[in-house]
A = this chain, B = another copy of it.
Amino acid sequence: MNDRRQIIIEAGLGVLREHGYPGFTQPRVATAAGLRQSHLTYYFPTRVDLLAAVARAAIDGQLDAIDKMFDGASQEVVAASIASVAVRHATTRVMMALAQAADQEASLRDLFRELADGISERVGRLLEDLGIEPTQQARFMLHALSAGLAVIDLAVGRPDGERRAQAVIETALDLLAKGGKRT
């Protein structure tokens, strides 16, 4: 059943969201999917196979989520949207898991590149909407800034994390809007 594969992938995503990469084990995913670990390996023979499938789903989902995020794009709204993603720890755990997986498994690196390129592209469109020139520089900067905010917030877990993140992104967009015409 293709359906069951989908259930497993969803379960895997859930595990990644909650426990991150270190907690991503076959038994845990199998339990979450309602089947036995030895059954799971029928659909995904190895851990890396499973991880690749879950990564694929995570990437598609993340890019879709970004697409749906920006409609009425004022600088403030955009900053708030990015900040709200940055402090969603479940998402951060998944993204960090993909980064680590890409670091350790050469076969997954291309998947992560796809994610990074997809984000960069979307950030470019976003900057255009805001009237900021979408140079590679600017796109990369906003991407890295968001990623860093997410990781730091995950680890320090300050109560006002979202507010602070939003303020920083607003400032960055502000600086880009004002100064982006020269460099």
> Interface of A with B (CB < 8 Å)?
19-22, 89, 93, 96, 98-100, 102-104, 109, 112-113, 116, 137-138, 140-141, 143-149, 151-152, 154-157, 164, 167-168, 171-172, 174-176, 178-180, 183
A109→B168 contact, CB < 8 A: no
- The quantity of this chain's copies bound in the complex is 2
Main SS at interface, chain A: helix
**Chain B, Cβ-Cβ closest to A102:** B155
A93 neighbours in B (Cβ, 8 Å) = 103
**Chain B, Cβ-Cβ closest to A114:** B156
A137→B167 contact, CB < 8 A: yes
- Given A22-B22, A89-B103, A104-B22, A145:B141 Cβ within 8 A: yes
A145 neighbours in B (Cβ, 8 Å) = 141, 144-145, 148
A100→B96 contact, CB < 8 A: yes
Contacting residue for A141 out of B113, B138, B172, CB 8 A: B172
